[in-house]
A and B are shown apart, each in its own frame.
Chain A
Amino acid sequence: MGADDVFPAEMPEHGLFLADPLDDDTAERLVAGRVGPDDAPPGYARVASVLQAAAGPAAPEELAGREAALAMFRAHRPAGERGRRGPATRRRAGGRARARVVALALAGVLAAGGLWMADGGRTFPGLRFPAGGAGAGRAGPGAPGVVTRARPLAPPVTAAGANARAPAQPSARTPSTGNDGGVTASRAHAHGARQHRPGKPPKPKPAPKPKQPKPEKPEPEGKATPRHQQERSARR
């Protein structure tokens, strides 16, 4: 039974109606639309017609959505000058980015400098602590003086506090006296004392206090001045 003996639509496609294979060049010319029906290899004339029609000019209904497409473009289009970035635009954008980085770095330096000046130069972590404080040689978030600037100076306070709790050893107070002012200042900073004296010139520190009647635990900063007044009156 041959292919012509059955109803063609019932025939399987494989084998019976396959045309001859194409060589690469002919296939390329066909898909590129460069082969017309008259020039097509045997069996491919209608294929050439179909391919040319598939790549053919637009039908009116295919362009009916133009206004909608333009409206969408208006709503979402690239923002003019910011849109296409030619070399010059890219250079400008790069310059702006660099200026932004420089400005940020400058702001950071100024902020750090202002902080340092406001502290009177005492509590800048990297400059102050390694000199032999308790936190010397340590770094990182858990290191003293990094989390809280006042902490590296805490040991004298602790010692003082310990001494205060042990009045039988007043001489142990002496080595720490030189740091008391710093301790007070640091403690005050640790509690945000700068907010309470903006722009106020640093007070001249009193002379080293040889004896402090009641070196107690760190007090709230608001009580620092009365305590100094008490010290002065006690000395008198």
Chain B
Amino acid sequence: MIGPSFEAVLHAAAGGDEAAFGILWRDLQPGLLRYLDALAPGAGEDLASETWLRIIQGLDRFRGDEHAFRGWVFMVARHRAVDRWRRRGRRRDELVPADALAELPAPDDPAVAAVDAISGRAAVALIATLPPDQAEVVLLRVVAGLEVAQVAAITGKRPGNVRVLTHRGLRRLAGRLAADTRVRGAV
């Protein structure tokens, strides 16, 4: 999050200031990539570029605070991903990434206590193994930092449904990690 200076940064970027746009990009690009990589593995970079192009083109018409801006960016990103699914004639649940568990440390691994033991993208890949609805809701809340209402608006669900999906996703994730622990312990 950029914080109190967001409005000035956005104003400058909308006026064509390259450095200001660089600040916006630096703040949002990592989360954008992680989110898009989870929705369309291997196409995150391309979709992020398409997203930024739309953002640049609409920058001078945007009105709102930083939260609204983040919501707008991720909504544009989701539209790009949905367009890609349609172009490919695929459903998003065919795009479940694999090997997400490989990077996770075992519970007896000393690195497990360190937060940065797992890379951001590996963690996102693990979340993406959840059922698609749960994965997307958790990612939008965790990676994009959006509120329940924003996630509901982006995904077309009710806020209550978003909360339920979040709970289920976290619970299922905990179960998977526990299962992985048992697998590693067995091996």
Contacts and interface: CB of A to CB of B under 8 A. Distances in A.
Contact of A27 (B119, B124, B167, B178): B167
B183 A43 contact: no
Q: Across chains A and B, which 4 residue pairs bring their CB atoms closest together, nearest first?
A: A19-B174, A17-B175, A58-B30, A53-B123
A157 B141 CA distance: 83
Contacts of B117: 49, 53
A140 interface: no
Interface of A: 4, 7-9, 11, 13, 16-22, 24, 27, 30-31, 33, 36-37, 43-44, 46-47, 49-59, 62-63, 65-66, 68-70, 72-74, 76-86
A73 B163 contact: no
A203 B40 CA distance: 82
Given A50-B126, A79-B16, A83-B59, A73 B173 contact: no
Contact of A80 (B16, B59, B142): B16
Contact of B170 (A47, A68, A78): A47
A11 B21 CA distance: 49
Nearest to B61: A85
Given A43-B174, A47-B173, A72-B53, A13 B116 contact: no
A31 B126 contact: no
Q: Which of A49, A53, A55, A66 has the most CB of B within 10 A?
A: A53
A129 B128 CA distance: 78
Interface stretch (B66-74, B90-98, B107-115): B107-115
Q: Which of B127, B163, B170 has the most CB of A within 10 A?
A: B170
Interface of B: 11, 14-16, 18, 21-22, 25-26, 29-31, 33-34, 45, 48-49, 52-53, 56-57, 59-60, 104, 107, 112-113, 115-124, 126-127, 138-139, 141-143, 145, 163, 166-167, 170-179, 181-183, 186
A84 B178 CA distance: 51
Contacts of B182: 4, 8, 17
Contact of B22 (A47, A70, A82): A70
A58 to B, nearest CB: 4
Contacts of A31: 138, 141-142, 166, 170
Contacts of A47: 170, 173-174, 177
A83 B179 contact: no
Contact of B179 (A13, A24, A55, A77): A13
Contact of B116 (A16, A53, A68, A77): A53
Given A9-B179, A18-B172, A63 B30 contact: yes
